[in-house]
Copies of this chain bind each other. A is one copy, B any other.
Amino acid sequence: MPLNPDRFFSPEPSQRQMARQLYTAVADLPLVCPHGHVEPRLFADPDYRFESPLALIVLPDHYLLRMLHSQGVPLESLGVPTLDGTPYETDPRAAWRRFAAHFHLFRGTPSGLWLAYIFEQLFGIAEKLSAETADVFYDQIAVRLAEPDFQPRRLYVRFQIEVLCTTDAATDSLAQHAAIRDSAWQARLLPTFRPDGVINLDAADWRANLDQLAALTNLHIHNYRTFLQALEARRAFFRSMGAVATDHGAERPYTERLSPEAANFILQRALRGTANAEDARRFTAHMLIESARMSVEDGMVMQLHVGSLRDHNPRLLRRFGRDKGADIPQQAEFTRSLKPLLDAFGDDPRLTLIIFTLDESTYARDLAPLAGHYPSLRLGAPWWFHDSLNGMARYFDQVMETCGIYNTAGFNDDTRAFLSIPARHDLWRRAACNWLAGLVVRGILDDSDAASMAVELAVGLARRTYKL
């Protein structure tokens, strides 16, 4: 169906009109993208082309894969490559048809909304995807992908992206970023320092990562001191490449201060291959505090993404690897868990710590009160499963009365799907303006405050929080 110009707004006429007015003023502002997972190689090669409609839209999107899997569509049949030798569909058109035949599954979901936007705005198709229209979509998308306008660098400009931050392992050479920097192309593509692979002792390839860290820093990492030196060296390198932020993933937001001796003791066990789960938990808990200390010193904004139990489905992990839609949220607790970190740096004006949660019961209970007290804390946008119209409404409802908008970090699209970036910002801006409009028509805000807040939510808070 064609996109409704008033989509996502309240049907109540006075609120809708106010929402439209607020939205119109921010709709064309540039896109600030301080956190996401777009691959820099799309921009390193000026002639990069997307391979096929399937490779562009389906294969990298674990939101789509998980839903199809949940309804019994084998990932093999969708062309997802297997690691264990199981045959899989190699005809992208055949796989696309299977996806299309199940497109009704996405009715009322964010994926459905993002794709509707992409199909109409980028490919000029306002029909509904289905078994019947599968080939029309495939052909039209394939034609457009071959046009020069569909080079990622051109799309970056067309999307009006102001800055795009990627997420990069501490052990990444940043070669693609260097190539972009050294090219004539004027764009702001910044790396983000993500040290999970060397900090989380239970990471899949921890030992190999550590060796790579040593190689990149020319350091012999044989104890806690040299480990910190290596991390600091990489942070300095990322800074020199333009990074403004770090990113940390953890199952739980647990923080605990260890003595250097205790930290070294655990690290020595890890180096000998004898660290256990409790070691890993405590070391990560300690290193979150150390990372905050490093942020205080080098000025990098610290992001903490908490609460996903990764790789819940071992069968799928063996067959297809990670990031195929089998990560499941779990309970989180911040009030006590973050206290050791906040005891150390919570009031430090040099620290900015942005928290992202998957457990919405922590919004009003732990996070908004914490962000509404500590100068270092900002609350990140609704994340992952909650990056949706209702997820945003719940976030506004449960967070803003306690910490105000000025203790939030604005929006980030947090996506691997480059093409979905405009759709995601459009949804956020509409949801934000509809929320503000609801406050105006209830006599809580006046028009001018609401207009100012709409700009903040669209671009201002993200720019300022990430020091962009």
Does A283 lie at the interface of the complex (its beta carbon under 8 Å from any beta carbon of B)?
no
Does A41 lie at the interface of the complex (its beta carbon under 8 Å from any beta carbon of B)?
no
> What separation, in Å, do the CA atoms of A11 and B434 have in the docked complex?
13
Are the C-beta atoms of A449 and B104 separated by less than 8 Å?
Answer: yes
> What separation, in Å, do the CA atoms of A359 and B360 have in the docked complex?
12
Closest to A360 in B: B364
Q: Which of A104, A328, A342, A343 is the most central at the interface, judged by chain B CB atoms within 10 Å of its CB?
A: A328
Are the C-beta atoms of A405 and B108 separated by less than 8 Å?
Answer: yes
How many chain-A residues does the 8 Å CB contact rule pick out? 92
Are the C-beta atoms of B402 and A385 separated by less than 8 Å?
Answer: yes
Residues of B within 8 A of A14 (CB): 11
A252 to chain B, nearest CB (A): 12
Q: Chain A 95-138 against B: per-residue CB contact (8 Å), 1 yes, 0 no?
A: 00000000011111110010000000000000010000000000
A439 to chain B, nearest CB (A): 6
Residues of B within 8 A of A407 (CB): 70-71
Which of B70, B374, B391 meets A403, CB within 8 Å?
A: B70
Residues of B within 8 A of A453 (CB): 107-108
Residues of B within 8 A of A128 (CB): 446
A57 to chain B, nearest CB (A): 18
Residues of B within 8 A of A165 (CB): none
Are the C-beta atoms of A401 and B389 separated by less than 8 Å?
Answer: yes
Q: Chain A 418-452 against B: per-residue CB contact (8 Å), 1 yes, 0 no?
A: 00000000000000000000110111111001001
Does A313 lie at the interface of the complex (its beta carbon under 8 Å from any beta carbon of B)?
yes
Beyond A105-B406, A110-B401, A330-B366, whether A71 also contacts B335 by CB under 8 A is no
Residues of B within 8 A of A446 (CB): 1, 128
A255 to chain B, nearest CB (A): 14
Closest to A453 in B: B107
Beyond A390-B397, A444-B108, whether A72 also contacts B404 by CB under 8 A is no
Beyond A7-B444, A8-B444, A106-B404, whether A347 also contacts B449 by CB under 8 A is no
> What separation, in Å, do the CA atoms of A343 and B328 have in the docked complex?
14
Which of B15, B373, B391 meets A313, CB within 8 Å?
A: B373
Q: Which of A109, A398, A401 is the most central at the interface, judged by chain B CB atoms within 10 Å of its CB?
A: A401
Which of B113, B373, B406 meets A444, CB within 8 Å?
A: B113
A129 to chain B, nearest CB (A): 12
Does A152 lie at the interface of the complex (its beta carbon under 8 Å from any beta carbon of B)?
no
Does A377 lie at the interface of the complex (its beta carbon under 8 Å from any beta carbon of B)?
yes
Residues of B within 8 A of A316 (CB): 347
Beyond A441-B11, A442-B9, A444-B7, whether A70 also contacts B373 by CB under 8 A is yes
A15 to chain B, nearest CB (A): 5
Residues of B within 8 A of A406 (CB): 71, 104-105
Closest to A346 in B: B313
Are the C-beta atoms of B328 and A366 separated by less than 8 Å?
Answer: yes
> What separation, in Å, do the CA atoms of A137 and B415 have in the docked complex?
47
Closest to A402 in B: B385
Residues of B within 8 A of A1 (CB): 446
Q: Chain A 354-383 against B: per-residue CB contact (8 Å), 1 yes, 0 no?
A: 000011110011101111111101000000
> What separation, in Å, do the CA atoms of A446 and B7 have in the docked complex?
12
> What separation, in Å, do the CA atoms of A1 and B443 have in the docked complex?
9
Which of B343, B360, B369 meets A365, CB within 8 Å?
A: B360
A244 to chain B, nearest CB (A): 19
Are the C-beta atoms of A325 and B373 separated by less than 8 Å?
Answer: yes
A312 to chain B, nearest CB (A): 7
Beyond A70-B407, A105-B404, whether A11 also contacts B442 by CB under 8 A is yes
> What separation, in Å, do the CA atoms of A1 and B446 have in the docked complex?
7
Residues of B within 8 A of A438 (CB): 11
Residues of B within 8 A of A87 (CB): none
Closest to A435 in B: B108
Residues of A37-56 whose CB lies within 8 A of B = none
Does A60 lie at the interface of the complex (its beta carbon under 8 Å from any beta carbon of B)?
no
> What separation, in Å, do the CA atoms of A259 and B331 have in the docked complex?
29
Q: Can you report 12 A-B residue pairs in the complex whose CB atoms are below 8 A from each other?
A: A8-B443, A11-B12, A12-B12, A70-B373, A104-B452, A108-B444, A109-B401, A312-B342, A315-B343, A328-B335, A361-B365, A364-B385
16 other A-B residue contacts (CB within 8 Å) besides A330-B335, A331-B333 = A11-B438, A67-B403, A69-B373, A107-B445, A109-B401, A109-B402, A128-B446, A315-B343, A315-B346, A326-B373, A328-B335, A328-B366, A329-B366, A360-B365, A364-B391, A388-B402
